[in-house]
Amino acid sequence: MFVIRSEMPGDAASIEPLLDRCFGVDRQQKTSYRYRDGVPPLADLAFVAADEDQKLVGAIRYWPVRLDRQPALLLGPLAIDPERQGRGIGRALVFHSLEIAAAAAHRLVFLVGDPAYYARFGFAVAPPGIVMPSESPARLNYRVLDPNLRLPRTGILKPLIVTPSSPADVDTHPATAGRPNAIAMASAIH
């Protein structure tokens, strides 16, 4: 049995070793981590799964990104304790977090992962014109949460940065704008 709950500050100490077990200790070399550098995960979309002994057995986080100027989410990492995989925990975390994201008016989600797993959540491989530099196009998945949003045919996925280099860089991402330590849109990609 497991429960899904919001991530709490003390959970990070359990999440980091879980991510190391699932993705390896060199996981921070992955391209997707360049989209997280200096940017905290979105607290409202960070969830964990805990077992009957309150042990943390799964976690999901999202980061704010942009498809050019279109605000979007980057789902991940999603990690389930290897001893608890295949029991629906990943499914529960993804469905729950996507429901909260849609309710919070997020419109577009990207992730880097196996399309064979994520198709069940409504994700599809991004069209060729949508690019996440240095990432395999075959593993770039997207899902539109707002039925009124049409995915542009072309676009570059961009990270956010913490230091605005010009007024044009000031953050207008709906998930982070106006918050302390305001995050600005990156004008260049890594």
Ligand X SMILES: CC(C)(COP(=O)(O)OP(=O)(O)OC[C@H]1O[C@@H](n2cnc3c(N)ncnc32)[C@H](O)[C@@H]1OP(=O)(O)O)[C@@H](O)C(=O)NCCC(=O)NCCS
> Which residues bind to ligand X, rule: CB under 6 A?
22, 76-80, 85-91, 113-114, 116-117
Rounded Cα gap, residues 58 and 82, in angstroms: 9
Indicate the residue among 134 and 181 with the shorter CB distance to ligand X.
134
Nearest distance, CB of residue 49 and ligand X, angstroms: 8
Indicate the residue among 112 and 145 with the shorter CB distance to ligand X.
112
Indicate the residue among 159 and 184 with the shorter CB distance to ligand X.
159
One-letter-per-residue 3-state SS of the chain: CEEEEECCHHHHHHHHHHHHHHHCCCHHHCHHHHCCCCCCCCHHHCEEEEECCCCEEEEEEEEEEEECCEEEEEEEEEEECHHHCCCCHHHHHHHHHHHHHHHCCCCEEEEECCHHHHHHHCCEECCCCEECCCCCHHHEEEEECCCCCCCCCCEEEECEECCCCCHHHCCCCCCCCCCCCCCEECCCCC
Indicate the residue among 96 and 152 with the shorter CB distance to ligand X.
96
Nearest distance, CB of residue 31 and ligand X, angstroms: 13
Nearest distance, CB of residue 170 and ligand X, angstroms: 30
Nearest distance, CB of residue 179 and ligand X, angstroms: 26
Indicate the residue among 61 and 185 with the shorter CB distance to ligand X.
61
Which residues, in sequence order, are CB contacts of 86 under 8 Å at separation 6+? none
Nearest distance, CB of residue 56 and ligand X, angstroms: 13
Indicate the residue among 53 and 83 with the shorter CB distance to ligand X.
83
Which residue is nearest to ligand X, using beta carbons? 90
Nearest distance, CB of residue 7 and ligand X, angstroms: 16
